[in-house]
Amino acid sequence: MSVTLGIDIGTSGTKTLAIDERGNVLASASAEYPCSHPKPGWSEQAPELWWTATIETVKAVLAKASLKPADVAGIGLSGQMHGSVFLDAEGQVIRPALLWNDQRTAAECAEIEHRAGGRENLIRMVANPALTGFTAPKLLWLRNHEPRAWERVRQVLLPKDYIRYRLTGTYATEVSDASGTLLLDVANRCWSRELLSKLEIDPALLPPCYESPEVSAKVSGRGAAATGLAVGTPVVGGGGDQPAGAVGNGIVRPGAVAATMGTSGVVFAHTQELGFDPLGRLQRGCHAVPGAWHVMGVVLAAGGSLQWYRNELAKAEIEAARSLGIDPYFLLSDEAALVGPGAEGLFFLPYLTGERTPHFDPDAKGAWIGLTVRHGRPHLVRSILEGAAYAMRDSLELIREMGASIEQVRVSGGGARNPLWRQIQADIYGHDVHTLESTEGPAFGVALLAQVGTGGFSTVPEACDATIRLAEQTKRDPKVQPFYDSAYAIYQQLYRDLRGSFAAISNLVKSYSA
């Protein structure tokens, strides 16, 4: 039996699982950790939290599955994209990592476009516009605002690649995650020397770049002693959480599209050609499938909006759920089911951490619009579920517009576990949605990549065909869809109406903070 591990370094926690060559999950374990927000719009994390969680979950999986170190044929790594880990000459972390949802770099994004010779020229070099969440603006921010720290930087790693370094002692990354740095020549699957030169960034700060199933390093003595793994265990390139999750969902050929409702929301489509959009409306990158690319739209606070509501406004539900031994999200969905589509005219804009697709607006704010005395907690919750789905539809519409084939929508993440939210997605997307038997997401995807990299399968599509199975279909309601089409048009207009006010609010907050 060929056993591989998948390790996913998420924003709220790390998950590790073990699978066999048939895709059966032998064991899994998760460990949570906090995220820091030291200033409005800032989002940071201590990389040591990821390493501690990796040690804990790897040991737990080995114990649960009764695996000996030598039983593990290979390891795949996945993680939150765009984060920046700054290391000094000794490989020590210089400061907390800036995360994907950090919004402090608007000025640096403008600087990058200027140095590149304009947005269209930047997209020609790296396939994407400069977005505040990307890695490159974070490097410029450190250089501009913390010059002493910048002088100490000798290596910049993405979150999962920091775990690779701790496991193996090797600096490395792979093309799917590197695509989100804004420093990769996505068309040629290598670092963009042209842009690095224009930004005056030393290429030596960036690690070697591999294809996702390719073996990039092997577990070191230190990594083995910390985790219980065997010295020399191969570690493949892996993937950013979204390309890795797409592999786990079988999005490895044109036709099927993934809609993942996690902390962020992502609509992801496989493409055989990179294509070019001078407006850069969708994020483009190398897929975790060698020789293929992807397009995706990202909602920064999709499931994160419901998580915020749970943590801040549903403390009674959390306590009730604990006493009953159930997930508090199911109590919230039961409340939402008490009201019908549209929540009696209540809309929620899920822009709690700004927004990426399609607005590229770090100043966007969350909002309830349409509140009346008739509205209660069920309306608030349902409007959040609908608002997140409207935001995801923005990306689906762009994918349709660019001519990509959408034959099947596969949903995953927290939004796929809830029947009501699945139905809302089907009705708002205007498309039946499907779930899979495996709901393990990116960790499952990189475990499959490790199967390929260690010889269990010859290609990524072959691995997916052998292990991924559809589970359940939720059909769109043709009676409800026209209503949601009309509501969606209103949702789109609300952002346009409020965009100027959002910017004014941000300026007001900055002036007070100063």
Alpha-carbon gap, residue 166 to 169, rounded angstroms: 6
Angle at 396 between CA 394 and CA 398, to 5 degrees: 75
> Which single residue is written with the structure tokens 């793994």?
229
Residue 296 labeled ligand binder: no
Alpha-carbon gap, residue 444 to 8, rounded angstroms: 9
Alpha-carbon gap, residue 119 to 301, rounded angstroms: 26
Evaluate the omega torsion of the peptide bond into residue 40 and state whether it is cis, within 30 degrees of 0.
no
DSSP assignment letter at 83: -
- 410 bridge partner residues: 258, 434
> Which has the closest alpha carbon to 185: 116, 257, 108?
116
> Which has the closest alpha carbon to 27: 39, 12, 15?
15
DSSP assignment letter at 232: T
Q: Are strands 367-369 and 347-349 parallel, antiparallel or unpaired?
A: antiparallel
Spatial contact of 190 and 214, defined as CB atoms under 8 Å apart: no
- Which residue out of 161, 177, 185, 241 is catalytically annotated? 241
Residue 82 labeled ligand binder: yes
Residue 282's Cβ-count burial label (10 Å; 0-12, 13-18, 19+) is buried
Give strand ranges (E) for 178-282. Answer: 184-185, 190-191, 209-210, 215-218, 234-236, 239-240, 255-261, 265-271
Q: Which backbone phi and psi does 229 adopt, to 5 degrees?
A: -80, 170
Residues belonging to the chain: 514
Alpha-carbon gap, residue 225 to 22, rounded angstroms: 29
Q: Quick check: is 394 catalytic?
A: no
CB neighbour list of residue 474: distance below 8 Å, 6 or more residues apart: 419, 422, 423, 425, 426, 432, 433, 434, 435
DSSP assignment letter at 96: P
In the three-class reduction of DSSP (H, G, I as helix; E, B as strand; rest coil), residue 280 is classed as coil
Distances (CA, A) of 452 to 77, 78, 178, 212, 238: 13, 15, 20, 10, 11
Q: Can you read off the two tokens belonging to residue 236?
A: 């493949």
Angle at 300 between CA 29 and CA 411, to 5 degrees: 60
Q: Can you read off the two tokens belonging to residue 328?
A: 């508090």
Spatial contact of 2 and 451, defined as CB atoms under 8 Å apart: yes
The set of catalytic residues is 241
- Residue numbering of the annotated binding site: 81-82
- Residue numbering of the annotated binding site for substrate: 81-82
